[in-house]
Structure 1
Amino acid sequence: MEGKEEDVKLGANKFPERQPIGTAAQTDKDYKEPPPAPLFEPGELQSWSFYRAGIAEFVATFLFLYIAILTVMGVSQGKTKCATVGVQGIAWAFGGMIFALVYCTAGISGGHINPAVTFGLFLARKLSLTRAVFYIIMQCLGAICGAGVVKGLQGEARYELLKGGANFVNHGYTTGDGLGAEIIGTFVLVYTVFSATDAKRHARDSHVPILAPLPIGFAVFLVHLATIPITGTGINPARSLGAAIIYNRGHAWDDQWIFWVGPFIGAALAAVYHQLIIRAIPFKARA
């Protein structure tokens, strides 16, 4: 790095990004920013890959809800914490399933499995509005079906007693606490998604094996550890909606808006932060 002259440019490019010491990084001249996805892409509706991706999102979200909600309900019905996997086990179930499912579906749909992730990537122009809306619909349908299968396995009485694994703001916390937890938790998740899937980072650090699903799943695990005591951890509107629809009790709907507004705000903040601060893309485009 010593002796390397700095390019004098205007705006955000006055001080160019430097290569990390010891890497075989590509330079800015070697990397070309991909064009933003079009807002509307009607041609997608005639492509089998479009529907194939939607089906992958449906199945992945179905499996995610099935494993995650069953784990939550298994802990809830335990007589003692020692008799179940406990809160850490719930966090591992959520994070582990996201790791596995993102790994399985990333090459087909991108492995979103979460409307908040889809929304954040849409704001960053990584996918079209057409695809974003389709993904969110399929994710919600998959979540409803996954929660429905859990109810069928548990039986009506046990399912009602365990509150269907639905999300609530827990006793002792305010609505503001719950909303803040969901915003920050989703920010952590979506920020990790952007960082783990950044094409420029992969090009720059191509010699470093980076498995994107691993940090994403680990982020989900850590956020659950922090926020399960507050909201049960949503950070995924489809997960919260699916459990609420199948459980379908008044108190399951009272806080439902928190599990949509919070994640969408968190995702939007993560998208803006990554594009504006981490990558400085708008400034580079004007340079």
Structure 2
Amino acid sequence: MKPNLQSKFFAEFLGTMVLVLMGCGSAVIAGSNGTTGVGLLGIAFAFGLSVVAMAYAIGHISGCHINPAITIGMVVAGRMTGKEAISYIIAQVLGAIAGAAILLLIASGKQDYNVITNGLGQNGYAEASPAHYSLLAGFIAETIFTFIFLLVIFGATSTKNIHGGFAGLSIGLSLVLIHIVGIPVTGVSVNPARSIGPALFAGAAAISQLWLFISAPVLGSILSAVTWRYILEKE
């Protein structure tokens, strides 16, 4: 029996919540460079492993998009209806907000933690960039990284791929790769919901920069979907 839309909605909500809680949580709670910190590489793997875990947990229910850019890309590629996509995107944004709220509650348990000072794993460019990369650099990075990420997803989930059982692993590892390169630039979004959740709690500066982390991933996903549908897998 196929999952109904309600099951898919809840799966996308939970999956995105876990992604934000564990991915951003690795940066906020365990990402320092001290003796107990996991560093940049650890944060990159936390995001990727979150996707791998959720792919095998909810992939058979909703496809485990947990990312509005992926959902929009699926619509453009002809793999999903617009009506279903709207439900997915709402679930993803709500899940990201829930994940960020839980993370804030946990992080606030440390006496010297302050969300304004320490952040909540939000994305940023210019002065808000981890390594102070410009707005242009951030926009290009988010667009191209999302383009690459969606290409991996389209290929890994294609009916022509004989290794489809490893789709979750290949998608998660591609996200690790993207984070290894992109964390210094923007903290890496490639996922509007992942950016929206932490930004709502991190303050006005993070919210004012959200436009980039919504528009660039969506642009990248559309370009990737068009490339896949009309060039790479064209009959």
Normalised by the size of structure 2, how large is the TM-score? Answer: 0.91
Question: Match of 1:257, SS?
Answer: helix
Partner Cα separation in structure 2 for residue 136 and residue 177 of structure 1:
27
Q: Is the 8 A contact 1:187 1:270 kept in 2?
A: yes
Cα distance per residue 1:171-225 (max 9 Å; x no partner): 53211110000001101111111000001x13xx3xx574110110011000001
Cα distance per residue 1:103-126 (max 9 Å; x no partner): 211110011010000000011111
Which residue number corresponds to residue 182 of structure 1?
A: 142
Partner Cα separation in structure 1 for residue 35 and residue 218 of structure 2:
36
CA shift for structure 1 position 238: 0.3
Letter of the structure 2 residue corresponding to residue 175 of structure 1: L
1:114-125 maps to which residues of 2 (within 5 A)? 114-125=67-78
Which residue number corresponds to residue 131 of structure 1?
A: 84
Partner Cα separation in structure 2 for residue 173 and residue 65 of structure 1:
23
Q: Is the 8 A contact 2:150 2:224 kept in 1?
A: yes
Instruction: Select which of 209, 216, 220 maps to 2:175.
Output: 220
Which residue number corresponds to residue 103 of structure 1?
A: 56
Cα gap change, 1:257/1:211 in structure 2, threshold over 3 Å: closer, same or farther? same
Letter of the structure 2 residue corresponding to residue 124 of structure 1: A
Q: Is the 8 A contact 1:151 1:159 kept in 2?
A: no
Question: Match of 2:207, SS?
Answer: helix
TM superposition outliers: structure 1 runs of 4+ over 3 Å: 80-83
Q: Is the 8 A contact 1:236 1:259 kept in 2?
A: yes
Structure with the largest fraction of helix: 2
Q: Is the 8 A contact 2:3 2:61 kept in 1?
A: no
Cα gap change, 1:209/1:116 in structure 2, threshold over 3 Å: closer, same or farther? closer
Partner Cα separation in structure 1 for residue 196 and residue 7 of structure 2:
23
Cα gap change, 1:209/1:137 in structure 2, threshold over 3 Å: closer, same or farther? closer
CA shift for structure 1 position 102: 1.2
Point out the structure with max Rg over C-alpha: 1
Which residue number corresponds to residue 162 of structure 1?
A: 118
Which residue number corresponds to residue 152 of structure 2?
A: 192
CA shift for structure 1 position 50: 0.8
Partner Cα separation in structure 1 for residue 87 and residue 140 of structure 2:
28
Letter of the structure 2 residue corresponding to residue 98 of structure 1: V
Question: Match of 2:171, SS?
Answer: helix
CA shift for structure 1 position 74: 2.2
Partner Cα separation in structure 1 for residue 96 and residue 113 of structure 2:
20
Instruction: Select which of 248, 253, 265 maps to 2:207.
Output: 253
CA shift for structure 1 position 159: 3.8
Question: Match of 2:144, SS?
Answer: helix
Cα distance per residue 1:134-183 (max 9 Å; x no partner): 00000000000010011111118614221121111115321111000000
Kindly report the root-mean-square deviation, in angstroms, between the aligned alpha carbons of the 2 structures: 1.7
Cα gap change, 1:188/1:251 in structure 2, threshold over 3 Å: closer, same or farther? same
Partner Cα separation in structure 1 for residue 9 and residue 114 of structure 2:
29
Which residue number corresponds to residue 147 of structure 1?
A: 100
Which residue number corresponds to residue 268 of structure 1?
A: 222
Cα gap change, 1:159/1:102 in structure 2, threshold over 3 Å: closer, same or farther? farther
Structure 2: tracts of 5 or more residues without a match: none
CA shift for structure 1 position 259: 0.4
Structure 1: tracts of 5 or more residues without a match: 1-46
